[in-house]
Amino acid sequence: MEPVKVSKQSGTQVSVNLPKKKKKLNGDRLLAIAFLTPSIILAAIFIYGFIGWTGYVSLSKWNSLVPDFSFAGLKNYLFLFQDYRFQADIRNTIVFTVLFIGFVLIVGLFLAILLDQKLRGESLFRNIFFFPMAISFVVTGVAWQWLLNPSTGVNLFLKKFGLDSKWYTDITIIGGFHLGKIEFGIPVALLAVIIAAVWQMTGFSVAMYLAGLRGIPEELKEAARIDGASEFQVYRKVVIPMLAPITVSVVIIMAHISLKIFDLIYAMTGPGANFVTDVPGVYMFETTFRGNYYANGAAIAIIMLLSVAIFIIPYLIISRRGEK
């Protein structure tokens, strides 16, 4: 790296220095671009190049240990959409995403509002709700596998109320009806995974909502109170609508986590009997790296990517634009 010379001249000679400085500025600008270039190249190869390559593999016949790049068209995709396991994955992803995001939003907002009431020990409570965020999904999976063990744990309490859930070993589908090859509905076993995921991720929505709540001027709430609004109405009519942009962010962030989820489910339940807790992330991993169906795995990965890209790309463009 070339050493940067420091001019000792003081500001009085600005006019003399000007042409020189312009030149130097250009040099610095080039230097700036030069320093950014490695990252641009890395991103170009490791993000876009590799996505392209995965797309290429997904259209190939490489479904064994030996790479075979001959063109198979959409065969792998057609196979997946007719596949019992992948259909179950789609069902599970939809159910998981909707319930997971729903609970994270509701519980998060509820906790944030509670924490915003200027109570003593607020920071202690906050820390208790945030700490699961610092834990690995694998650890969460191991812990909740034990907690929700059908013959133990939480069930010892529930049994007293006459409830006896088989949790993640249950193969019941609530509200099931036939769709394609599968029974569409809410798999009971998936609820166990959702509880664990919500436990881990609500900290995020609490933090986001709390930051939002702190940004709402007290006068606004006060004004509503003076107008005769009850505390409940103040929140419903004034505060919560103002939190809408935060809700959008939380939904987007949680949705992309949920659509690519792998480790929690892999550590906690695996695919489950009848694939009641299987998700594309787990299927992709098993079929590619355990079964050597590379082309099928690549097709699953591309479908996962598209499902995320559909809303991440607009979100990125809109929020980047809003910044300027």
Partner 1 sequence: MAAKSLVKPILYLVLIGLSLFYLMPIYVMFITSLKPLDQVTLADMWKLPTQIDFSSYVKAFTKLAPNFLNSIYLVVPATLISALLGALNGYVLSKWRFKGSEVIFTAILFGMFIPYQSILIPLIQFLREIGLYNSIPGLILVHVVYGLPITTLMFRNFYASIPESMIESAQMDGAGFLRIFYYIMIPLSVTGFVVVAIWQFTNIWNEFLFAVTITTSDQQPVMVALQNLSGSQIVQWNVQMAGALIAALPTLLVYIFLGKYFVRGLLAGSVKG
* Burial grade of 272 (CB within 10 A; 0-12, 13-18, 19 or more): buried
Q: Out of 53, 69, 81, 84, which residue is the one contacting partner 1 (CB under 8 A)?
A: 53
Query: According to CB under 8 A, which residues from 204 to 263 bind partner 1?
Result: 204, 207-208, 211, 249-250, 253, 256, 259-260, 262-263
On whether the CB atoms of residues 140 and 264 are closer than 8 A, the answer is: yes
* Half-sphere exposure at residue 102, Cβ-oriented, CA atoms within 13 angstroms: 9
SS3 for 252?
helix
Burial class (CB in 10 A: 0-12, 13-18, 19+), 125: middle
**Site for partner 1 contains 302 (CB under 8 A):** yes
Q: Which of 74, 78, 94, 142 binds partner 1 (CB under 8 A)?
A: 142
51 is a contact residue toward partner 1 (CB under 8 A): yes
Which H or E run contains 299?
helix 294-323
CB of 215 to partner 1, least distance (A): 12
Residue 69, interface with partner 1 (CB under 8 A)?
no
Amino acid at 297: G
Nearest to partner 1 of 240, 308 (CB atom):
308
Q: Which residues pair with 174 in a beta bridge?
A: 186
Counting contacts by CB under 8 A, is residue 119 touching partner 1? yes
Binders of partner 1 among residues 14 to 33 (CB under 8 A) are 14, 21, 24-25, 27-29, 31-33
Kindly state the smallest distance separating residue 181's Cβ from partner 1, in Å: 23
Judged by CB under 8 A, the residue of 102, 130, 185, 216 near partner 1 is: 130
Element (H, E) at 174: strand 173-179
Q: Which residues in 78-117 contact partner 1 (CB under 8 A)? A: 111, 114-115, 117
List phi, psi (to 5°) of 230. Answer: -75, 165
Among 64, 82, 230, 319, binds partner 1 (CB under 8 A): 319
Applying CB under 8 A, which of residues 59, 99, 108, 203 lies at the interface with partner 1?
203
Q: Quick check: helix, strand or coil at residue 177? A: strand
Binding residue (CB under 8 A) for partner 1 from 86, 96, 144, 275 = 144
Report which of 301, 300, 308 is spatially closest to residue 50, judged by C-alpha positions.
Answer: 301
Any contact of residue 40 with partner 1 (CB under 8 A)? yes
Whole-number Å distance between alpha carbons of 234 and 232: 5
Least distance in Å: CB of 104 to partner 1? 13
CB of 95 to partner 1, least distance (A): 18
